[in-house]
Amino acid sequence: MKPSEYRKIYLASLRLYGLLFVPELFDLLNHYQIGFKKSDVYDDLESRLEKSTRGYYVVKGKAKEYLITRPYITDEWLNKLLECKPGKPHYYPKTFTDFLKYSDPEYLDENDQIAVRNIRKFLTEHCTIEEDKLTYITEWLLSSFRYEKIDEVISHLAYFGIDLRDEKDLEKFMFMAMSVANNIRTPLNNGFTPKEMTKNLGPLDLEHVQLTIGPNMRKSMLDGDIDPVEYLKEIEMVDFPLMAKQSLRKELLEIIDQIKHKAKMS
């Protein structure tokens, strides 16, 4: 693949998933049956390592532990993604062409288009907003509903001059907000909408969820592409439910023991 094609894949992945480890990138390419060599992918990532880019940033830990993320991502947002994503499948659009559409920051899929119409309808009917600000506030709300809780969004509305002190207006905003938030794709669900995620997995009792290391991630650790010790340190720092953290810790320690045993035998 050409560098420009890799770039589109990275941008689309970040739009849908928020961040991407290399094994997940391999899973994506295999899903769409894109012919590739792992060495070519590593070469491309190495060429972009820690360079200033538009929309994405490639970092590298020990061995070949590459992570594709957004420039200037905060520790809070990174931890939030790491906390929410494990155990959730990745959303793959129907075709690879459809997937690449997400590399365009201005692209709105069908869910986004419906959300924009609902947001604009509420703002024009219940708020006094100048036309030149309407598009900006609509885009801000769409992005906020994708990443934040509704009560957090409400706390920022006054900054834009949106007054919801009237009880009826607040109720209508909440109705609109819940409808939008439940039906737009979010990186916190690996690209699925909350409605799709509930349908696919059912309501989750997070306190009793056990998480596992996927086969591709496990192989990458055993092959030395990802350092399980560093990954374990990250898991320990993230505020996971206890049972989820214990299940991941157990698997990671088993992988570390396998690596040590293999080293002794060689």
**Rounded distance, CA 246 to CA 207, Å?**
11
- Give the mean pLDDT of the chain: 84
pLDDT band at 162 (very low <50, low <70, confident <90, very high): confident
Q: Residue 34 — pLDDT band, cuts 50, 70, 90?
A: very high
Q: What is the pLDDT of residues 2-30, one digit of tens each?
A: 889 999 999 999 999 998 888 899 999 99
239 pLDDT tier (thresholds 50, 70, 90): low
Average pLDDT over residues 29-36: 93
Domain extents in the chain: 3-103, 110-184, 206-265
As to burial, measured by CB atoms within 10 angstroms (0-12 exposed, 13-18 middle, 19+ buried), residue 226 is: buried
State yes or no: pLDDT of 100 exceeds 90.
Answer: yes
Q: Which of 60, 67, 82 is nearest to 10 (CA)?
A: 67
Contact in structure between 17 and 30 (CB atoms under 8 Å): no
pTM of the predicted model as reported, rounded to 2 decimal places: 0.72
Q: Given this model, what pLDDT does residue 110 score?
A: 95
Q: Give the residue among 159, 15, 168 at the shortest CA–CA distance from 99.
A: 15
Reported confidence tier of residue 237, pLDDT bands at 50, 70, 90? low
